[in-house]
């Protein structure tokens, strides 16, 4: 059994996270429940910040809030001196509501609407990561309307494809994101960007994928970006002050996943920056990164109650839990794998191989295919590990299932950061048009 962060098993065989017995958390807050190990989140944030500090380069570590955007998480990011990457008005609003300093917010996205751009301009965010020509001209115009000059990075695709699941690769040429270096689009974008009066071009951004275990992809991206920077300096006399290398640093979901310590990713990137830029006699740029998954992923655990089971002799046994693809769509979307234990009987010996199914009306709603567990009974608690990133963030109300609560635990304290949705929340935005009400009344 691999336990992350502050997780441990107490003498009663209960899983304890952040000093809180998960059986008590289940009783107090109900299930399904997202539990966040606050100390582990802060530890990850500090690993990034300290590794960059050790490099001697100027830096910003921008938490990619898409992984888990809630106000409490923005508050932690602020306290840990992180910057914040947002990709929609909703994430921007969450950050601003949490009091996150706008100057440390970076706005991403391949189709920012005029309303979103205006909202970000009004908030005076620190930087826009411009994705395409439409956005470049629109942002220049909207900034001009407000009499502002705004910092931008250009998102470029350096043609590096990291080893990862197809659906989450973004660095290769065939991508909906960014300006391609290989076909000259990025070069043209630099020329255009530097000609816009209301835009201040700080540099470029590159993100090569997600859940990456090797440094090679990042080093290759740095080589390409540095080569491009030198070409732009030599031919256009433009210097990049900032290089943003995106996120993508992998985490351990299951045995066999072999992520590197954060310090090693950072060292590989910063060493490569230093050697490439020094060799070209180029002033060392500031380095920004945008980790999402590796900041919060292993700090999250989802607690479920086991309900029914179905044994199909010679085929498989299903046990069903009170959540599923609504709170964790990743197995259905990406065939992602997870580890789990019975949180109330963690010391019991493993007895059978089961498949953990969710409660959605869909055959594909399986959270874990083939896991060894003690014989689970109705009412047992199942803890699924490593659900901190892209679980709550991607949760839905499919089947009108309510989204679970999120609880942050630390040193024996458990605090609700997001309330469980109520049935009234489920219908809260519904309206029955008057003509339908009249038709009902007339029957
Ligand atoms: N920066 C940019 C521009 C990105 O597109 C992403 C992730 C990140 C940073 C953060 O990457 P991370 O450090 O979390 O790997 N829903 C998928 C992941 C999609 C990632 C999209 N972009 C999943 O559940 O695996």
pLDDT in tens, the chain (443 residues): 899 999 999 999 999 999 999 999 999 999 999 999 999 999 999 999 999 999 999 999 999 999 999 999 999 999 999 999 999 999 999 999 999 999 999 999 999 999 999 999 999 999 999 999 999 999 999 999 999 999 999 999 998 877 655 555 555 677 899 999 999 999 999 999 999 999 999 999 999 999 999 999 999 999 999 999 999 999 999 999 999 999 999 999 999 999 999 999 999 999 999 999 999 999 999 999 999 999 999 999 999 999 999 999 999 999 999 999 999 999 999 999 999 999 999 999 999 999 999 999 999 999 999 999 999 999 999 999 999 999 999 999 999 999 999 999 999 999 999 999 999 999 999 999 999 999 989 98
- pLDDT at residue number 164: 59
What H or E segment, with its residue span, contains residue 47? helix 38-55
Q: Which of 64, 16, 38, 9 is nearest to 389 (CA)?
A: 64
* Helical axes 38-55 vs 262-279, angle rounded to 10°: 20
Tokens standing for 273? Answer: 């920056």
- pLDDT at residue number 165: 55
- pLDDT at residue number 51: 98
In the chain, domain spans: 8-37+297-421, 108-290
Residues contacting residue 79 through CB under 8 Å, at least 6 positions apart? none
- Check pocket membership of 178 for ligand 1, CB cut-off 6 A: no
Q: Which of 264, 60, 48, 280 is nearest to 151 (CA)?
A: 60
State yes or no: 293 annotated in a binding site. Answer: yes
Q: What distance in Å separates the CA atoms of residue 34 and residue 420, rounded to the nearest whole number?
A: 10
Q: Calculate the CA dihedral of residues 75, 76, 82, 84 and round it to 10 degrees.
A: -50
DSSP 401: P
Count the alpha carbons within 13 Å of 127 in the hemisphere toward its beta carbon.
24
Ligand 1, atom 21, lies closest to the CA of 168
Residues that are catalytic: 361
Tokens standing for 414? Answer: 């458990």
What does each C-alpha distance from 140 to 152, 184, 185 come to in angstroms?
Answer: 10, 22, 19
- Check pocket membership of 253 for ligand 1, CB cut-off 6 A: no
Q: Which of 155, 272, 160, 268 is nearest to 209 (CA)?
A: 160
The yes-or-no answer to whether 8-37+297-421 and 108-290 have a common fold is: no
Cα 207 to ligand 1 centroid, rounded to whole Å? 9
Atom of ligand 1 nearest to the CA of 155: 3
- pLDDT at residue number 355: 98
Cα 209 to ligand 1 centroid, rounded to whole Å? 7
What H or E segment, with its residue span, contains residue 27? helix 22-29
- Check pocket membership of 67 for ligand 1, CB cut-off 6 A: yes
- pLDDT at residue number 184: 95
Question: Which one of 1.10.3720.10, 2.40.37.10, 3.20.20.60, 3.10.450.50 gives the CATH number of domain 8-37+297-421?
Answer: 2.40.37.10
Where helices occur in 56-86 by DSSP H, the ranges are: 71-79
- pLDDT at residue number 159: 86
Atom of ligand 1 nearest to the CA of 129: 3
- pLDDT at residue number 229: 98
Domain 108-290 fold is TIM Barrel (3.20.20)
Q: What distance in Å separates the CA atoms of residue 305 and residue 29, rounded to the nearest whole number?
A: 12
Residues contacting residue 309 through CB under 8 Å, at least 6 positions apart? 317, 318, 319, 320, 354, 376, 378
- pLDDT at residue number 167: 53
Q: What distance in Å separates the CA atoms of residue 200 and residue 140, rounded to the nearest whole number?
A: 10
- pLDDT at residue number 117: 98
Q: Which of 69, 99, 64, 439 is nearest to 289 (CA)?
A: 64
């Amino acid at each position: 059994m691999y336990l992350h962060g502050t997780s441990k098993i107490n003498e009663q065989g209960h899983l304890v996270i952040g000093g809180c017995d998960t059986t008590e958390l289940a009783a107090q807050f109900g299930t399904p429940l997202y539990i966040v190990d606050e100390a582990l989140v802060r530890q990850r944030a500090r690993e990034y910040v300290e590794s960059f500090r050790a490099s001697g380069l100027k830096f910003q570590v921008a938490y990619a809030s898409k992984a888990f955007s809630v106000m409490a998480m923005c508050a932690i990011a602020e306290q840990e001196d992180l910057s914040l990457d947002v990709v929609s008005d909703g994430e921007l609003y969450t950050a601003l509501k949490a009091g996150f300093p706008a100057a440390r917010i970076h706005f991403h996205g391949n189709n920012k609407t005029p309303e979103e751009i205006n909202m970000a301009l009004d908030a005076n965010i620190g930087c826009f990561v411009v994705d395409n020509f439409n956005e470049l001209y629109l942002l220049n115009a909207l900034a001009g309307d407000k009499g502002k000059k705004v910092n931008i990075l250009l998102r470029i695709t350096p043609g590096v494809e990291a080893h990862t699941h197809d659906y989450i690769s973004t660095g290769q040429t065939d991508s909906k994101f960014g300006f391609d270096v290989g076909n000259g689009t990025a070069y043209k974008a630099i020329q255009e960007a530097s000609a816009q009066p209301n835009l201040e071009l700080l540099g470029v951004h590159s993100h090569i994928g997600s859940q990456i275990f090797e440094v090679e992809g990042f080093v290759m991206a740095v080589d390409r970006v540095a080569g491009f920077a030198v070409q732009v300096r030599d031919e256009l006399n433009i210097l990049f002050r900032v290089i943003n290398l995106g996120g993508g640093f992998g985490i351990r979901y299951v045995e066999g996943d072999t992520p590197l310590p954060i310090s090693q990713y950072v060292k590989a990137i910063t060493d490569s920056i230093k050697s490439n830029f020094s060799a070209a006699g180029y002033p060392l740029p500031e380095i920004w990164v945008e980790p999402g998954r590796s900041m919060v992923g292993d700090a999250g655990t989802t607690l479920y109650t086991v309900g029914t089971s179905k044994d199909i002799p010679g085929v498989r046994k299903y046990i069903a839990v009170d959540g599923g693809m609504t709170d964790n769509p990743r197995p259905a979307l990406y065939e992602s794998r997870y580890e789990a234990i019975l949180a109330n009987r963690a010391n019991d010996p493993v007895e059978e191989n089961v498949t953990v199914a969710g409660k959605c009306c869909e055959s594909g709603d399986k959270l874990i295919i083939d896991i060894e567990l003690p014989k689970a009974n109705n009412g047992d608690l199942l803890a699924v590990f490593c659900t901190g990133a892209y679980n709550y963030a991607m949760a839905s109300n499919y089947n009108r299932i309510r989204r679970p609560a999120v609880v942050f635990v630390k040193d024996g304290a458990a605090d609700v950061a997001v309330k469980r949705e109520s049935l009234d929340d489920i219908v809260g935005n519904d309206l029955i048009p008057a003509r339908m009400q009249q038709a009902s009344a007339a029957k």
